[in-house]
Every structure is written in structure tokens, then in C-alpha cells.
Amino acid sequence: MLDSIQSPQDIKQLDLDQLQSLADEIRAFLIENIQ
């Protein structure tokens, strides 16, 4: 899902389940790339 976000408007159109999934992807990405 992270690859499909191109603008803030894309995020505004997501429902709560999709937002949770996106947040999980962002968290995993940050953990993987910062450590």
C-alpha cells in the first residue's frame, strides 16, 4: 500500500482499516531501515 500513496489526498481517501494497514507498513519500513 505504501507504494500507492502519491499525495496527502490519497491518504485522506483511505478508510480506518486501510489507515491501520498503512501505519503498520510505515512502522515496519522505519524499523527495517533505521536499525
Q: How far apart are CA 2 and CA 26, in angstroms?
A: 7
pLDDT digits over 1-35, tens only?
A: 889 999 999 999 999 999 999 999 999 999 999 98
pLDDT computed for residue 35 by the predictor: 80
The pTM of this model reads 0.81
pLDDT computed for residue 30 by the predictor: 96
pLDDT computed for residue 10 by the predictor: 97
pLDDT computed for residue 12 by the predictor: 97
| Domain boundaries defined on the chain | 2-34
- Neighbouring residues of 19: CB distance < 8 A, sequence distance ≥ 6: 11
Amino acid of residue 25: E
